[in-house]
Amino acid sequence: MANSRRRHARVARPAGTRHRAPTRPAEPGPVLELDVDRIAHGGVAVARHEGRVVFVADAVPGERVRVRVTDAGHDRFWRADTLEVLDASPDRREHVWAEASVDRAPEHRVGGAEFGHIAMRRQRELKGEVLHDALARMGGLEREVDVRPVDPALAPGVDPESGTGWRTRVRLHVGADGTVGPYAARSHRIVPVSSLPLAVAELEAIAPIGADGRPAGAGTGADSGASAIDLVAPSTGAAELVVRNPGDRRRDHPPTIVERVGERRFTLDRGGFWQVHRGAAATLTRAVQEAVDPDRFDPEADNQDLYGGVGLLAAAIGDRFGPSTRITTVEADARATEHAGANLADWVGARAVSDRVDRYLDRLAGAADAASRGLRGATVVLDPPRAGAGRAVVDRLAGLRPAQVVYVACDPVALARDVATFREHGYELETLDAFDLFPNTHHVEAVARFAAIV
């Protein structure tokens, strides 16, 4: 998952900042009392009103809540914010981030921790239910999913009971008046905060926020036209505060950082993609190594790491199967590819290619020996962006007939769609493991293995 075009491309933003603000009616919408049934993909709860689906923020399945409709512009569904919990679920807890609590007015609730009011065990169950539902509806498979927490040994300083202290990258936004903070949920409104509970301790210590909830922007550039402040805590070296200005342009040689996974070190641009959870890179390294079927693995085959970023998962394969393993890592971002080449220098059979994956696969298919060999016997690690690999890439890849595909997915619906396409080509889902790499949010990571059924 070292792909520079992933959902946390460059420095990761709080989850709530990735969604367009909903279309709100000119006048306040109706206030309703609703019974909540389940969780939908995207982290909102599902209720019904007079036959219409209502997506409700900040609720828990099984609750009765009083809500205000915020978007009634659709025939089939409405969106609403919870105003009051009338009958609370036993799984409801005090929100881990006070500024996101249901006690606040919805417009003043910070985004990025939409599951923070739900007990950790129940959060993981809900994520498993969403993944199960997506696979059933779109992938044509009934598969129970157990979402596992990150091994505490891989994530020092992270509180597994509260799901806090795990984010190593945070973006704060800066308003025209110098206000510093994350965005409110589902909007671009900046909310001043007094804490960043999901962030690792090193970032909280340097964050320009005030103990009284007022921003402490002096000396950060917040008062000089900055548009954002990025906080980065690599696994080696000191945490950094980086002021972003509207006129900033990408530099030819941006600053780099070094991340460590076990005994391996990975160099990347400070603003480049890296897993945001302190223990995620190690978790996925282990998961990918375990997902590969050794009986199908050929170290001399044309093994591939697609959407490979700076080489994290290619290194996982090399570490498991030895330094002579042949593997090509492919990434569209040229800087990430440059770093991947250096990070994989230990493997004589490794190479890094800068290219779009679809174009790269087209060239493989057009090679002189494609008809006789293609990727037959090869293992492919596939780690696409949030939108998934998509039909075009899966069609091309399956046509090259690799022995197995290990797919790292960060979106249940995108994974389910690609599962259906793989199955059309005779590749069945053999194993599926899911990990809670984003506690207190709705996001979940999955590692799947596909193989051709002969």
Residue 443 near residue 15 (C-beta atoms within 8 A)? yes
Instruction: Show the DSSP H helices in 165-291 as ranges.
Output: 201-206, 280-291
407 is in an annotated binding site: no
CA distance readout (Å), 36 to 46, 62, 111, 122: 6, 5, 21, 15
144 is in an annotated binding site: no
434 strand-pairing partners: 147, 446
Nearest CA-CA partner of 106 in 2, 40, 201, 191 = 191
DSSP string, 34-62: EEEEEE-TTS-EEEEETTEEEEEET--TT
Examine the residue annotation and report whether 410 is marked as an active-site residue of this protein: yes
Nearest CA-CA partner of 306 in 327, 321, 325 = 327
Residue 307 near residue 329 (C-beta atoms within 8 A)? no
331 is in an annotated binding site: yes
DSSP string, 360-408: HHHHHHHSTTTTTTTTTT-EEEE---TT-SHHHHHHHHHHT--SEEEEE
CA distance 92 to 14: 22
From the list 410, 415, 416, 447, the catalytic residue is 410
123 is in an annotated binding site: no
CA distance 302 to 28: 59
| Binding-site positions | 275, 307, 331, 383
Active site residues: 410
| Binding-site positions for S-adenosyl-L-methionine | 275, 307, 331, 383
